[in-house]
Amino acid sequence: MPSAVKNIAKEVGANEFIICGNGTLIYDLQNEEIIYDSFLEKEKVLQIIKICEENSIYYNLYTENRVITKSLNYNALYYDSENSKKPEEKRTNIDIVENIYKYVEENNNVNVLKITICDSDKVIFSSIIRKLKQISKVDVLEVEHMSKKIIKFGSKEIQVEYFYTEISNENTNKWSALEFLMKKLGIDKQEVIAIGDNANDKEMVENAGLGVAIGGSMLEANKIGDIFVSDNNSDGVAEAINMYVNNEKN
């Protein structure tokens, strides 16, 4: 979400544009305005919520500035745990709403970037994915692996594992947003480096002038990318930037 990414941009000194929500939105940091968006249609959001509710599947909505959920579980539980370690201005805003369907139906100012679906049972998860793929004009992210998060409660560490997918507007991804920005700035795709590690990075890593896959990731496992660098725990992103932006080849 822009509210979360702006904090990271400030830390690294980035002050021009940020792409958020898997390419759903581009935010101009200098002018503090959205210059591109591809929000999910309200009708589609309600349709997805209805399917999840009827099948007792956990889900949450991502808007420009908050996560909307019914309870703290899976990814929302992780965000809440991380919030306890951060100053208030850097926390992820989480709204717990009892009846999300009614909330979306009655509010015209809820702009949904994406919807995340989570479940710990692979059979149940696969079944709901098949239902969601029948909805027209939305894209359901293909995620092959289980997400694993470590949540700390005092001296205890709890590992939360779950399958998840992300639903966004049709033909909306990080590469489609990059294409908009490239056209606006007059940049050729051969001048673009894309670094990624997950299914939602696939299109941009495949299409950029130089696609970089993080080591140990889904992209490396599927041989997606022009080059492969170290994993996230070994500063793979910094490695790629130093080699191909700062020209520190050795």
Quick: pLDDT tens for 26-68. 999 999 999 999 999 999 999 999 999 999 999 999 998 899 9
In order of their start, the domains of the chain are 42-169 (3.30.1240.10), 188-250 (3.40.50.1000)
Portion of the chain with pLDDT greater than 70, in percent: 98
Whole-prediction pTM: 0.88
Mean pLDDT confidence for 216-243: 94
> How does pLDDT run across 61-92, given as a tens digit for each residue?
999 889 999 999 999 998 898 888 888 888 89
Please give the pLDDT value at position 105.
97
Asked if pLDDT for residue 250 goes beyond 60, the answer is no
* Neighbouring C-beta atoms of residue 14, cutoff 10 Å: 13
The pLDDT, as a whole number, for residue 249 is 62
| pLDDT band for position 146 (cuts 50, 70, 90) | confident
